[in-house]
Amino acid sequence: MRKQLIRFLILASLICLALTVTAYADEATVTGNEVNMRSGPGTNYEVIDCLEKGATVTVNDCSNYYWYNVTYNGKTGFMASGYLKINPAPIVEQVTESAAQNGYINAMYVRFRSGPGTDYSVLGEYKTGTKLTITGSSNGWTQVNINGKDGYVYSSYVSVEEPAAVAQPIQEQAAAVQQPVQEQPVQQPAYQVAAQSERTGTISGNYVRFRTGPGTNYTIITSYNSGTPLTMKGSSGSWYQVVINGTEGFVFSQYVKLDAVQQAPAAVAVEQQAQPAEGTTAATPVAAPEITGYIRGNSVRFRAGASTNTQIIAEYNSGTALKVTGHSGAWTKCVINGKEGFVYSDYVTENKPAVSSEGSDTGKQIAAFALQYLGYPYLWAGSSPETGFDCSGFVWYVYKQFGYTIQRVACNQANEGVHVDHANIQPGDILCFYSGDNYIGHSGIYIGNGQFIHSSTETTGVIISDLNTDAYEARRVA
């Protein structure tokens, strides 16, 4: 009896000890719209909640790669890992309550974030002079409280002294208006805008900056939220020139969702082709042998005539096959999908996209296999030809066909295999691209010749792009 009592006490002690051990817990942000939380790890389990994009959940266990055990608003269930982004735990240097001090925002349109980094959600935007309480710091970010809410502001935009423009008496401000100080104009870098046929669209994202020029060094006019209508008129690098509410400015292209291009009926296209643009002389197309060619570049315009003033019939991406039938000045007359039109000659090549001859046989086979999916649709969380692919789903699927089991999410793919220096990348290598600070947000497969294949956007689907950035991690698995 006594032995049984001792065993019972030991067992009870062990249970109590287990209950006091801190379980794995981390925070993650929901990255999709209306994502289901289920009672078990699979789509065959009951839906117990539906979470919106941006919601924060507590991850209790992630040993099942595809389904994480999470808690949200007191409910515990399972969510697909592809719709969750683990938030890195911030290392915060706290200050004592007595040492906490008041401070101020010292710039315009300063973002107030949920964590110490640009990949954290934006809680709001504040202007010069906004009061705050400094409560800590973390790796270049200041932990603050604004209007009763805790968050982070980049330290350069926080000062303990009230900005002069705010502290200045009203009378002095009036005097300054009457006697303005002669200042040297700020020299902005020159830029060129490629004019394009107008297309409508909307802002995709919240607190998106609308700037006076194509770069973050240009003045912020204002910011807009998702769904704001706009008209795109041109492009400059990775920026779109747009008109919003009658004002012209620039928005980073990643935050613009363009409406689908309306294709003109064939009869209209013929009529347009027959009529030269006003003030120009129609050039007679020079006959050429019918040869097979390919589009070189993405979102290349296929026009009704040999001029940028003529109607856009459609847009095509790199690798699209065409039949060359003639030339007119700097334009190539061709047939694509049974329709006749013109493509600017710089975007036409006789060479079909192909894998470089360099690298291992397996790597070249992987890259060549990936090429067959050019033009397949983009689908968020998609990972098969039947449904379409997102970026990491495409990479995951291609590698799976060669017997490699790699992780499903782009940021995790950046840890697969071994690191490869940029100077030594070969066909078949996985390229994982940084989308801000240290966050990996996109992936693709290198095919050689300075190009990679990837599932890019809903507009383009799977395309080939030039590798014109150094902001990526290269990994070799095969």
Name the nearest CA neighbour of 153 among 126, 183, 192, 174: 126
Asked about 442 being catalytic, the answer comes back as yes
Closest to 215 (Cα-Cα) out of 232, 234, 196, 238: 238
End-to-end Cα separation, the chain, in angstroms: 63
Helix (H, G, I), strand (E, B) or coil at 178: helix
176 band by pLDDT with thresholds 50, 70 and 90: very low
Task: For residue 112, give the nearest of 80, 144, 148 by alpha carbon.
Answer: 144
Place of tokens 């692919």: 389
Is the predicted pLDDT of residue 232 greater than 70, yes or no? yes
Q: What is the mean pLDDT of residues 236-256?
A: 83
Q: Which of 35-49, 178-192, 313-327 has the lowest mean pLDDT?
A: 178-192
Contact residues for 3 (Cβ-Cβ < 8 A; gap 6+): none
pTM above 0.85, yes or no: no
More confident residue, 205 or 230: 230
Least confident of 95-99, 288-292, 398-402, 446-450: 95-99
Which domains are present in the chain? 17-86 (2.30.30.40), 97-163 (2.30.30.40), 198-258 (2.30.30.40), 266-349 (2.30.30.40), 361-476 (3.90.1720.10)
- Averaged over 79-93, what is the pLDDT? 69
pLDDT of residue 432: 94
Token couple for 105: 């925002």
- The predicted-structure confidence for 432-453, as pLDDT tens digits, reads as follows 998 766 778 899 999 998 899 9
From the candidates 334, 391, 411, 432, give the one annotated as an active-site residue: 391
User: What values do phi and psi take at 442, rounded to 5?
Assistant: -155, 155
More confident residue, 23 or 224: 224
On average, the pLDDT of the chain sits at: 77
Cα 475 to Cα 84, 319, 402, distances in angstroms: 23, 25, 16
What single string gives the DSSP state of each residue in 55-118? -EEEEEE--SSSEEEEEETTEEEEEEGGGEEEPPPP--EE--TTT-EEEEE-SSSEEEESSSST
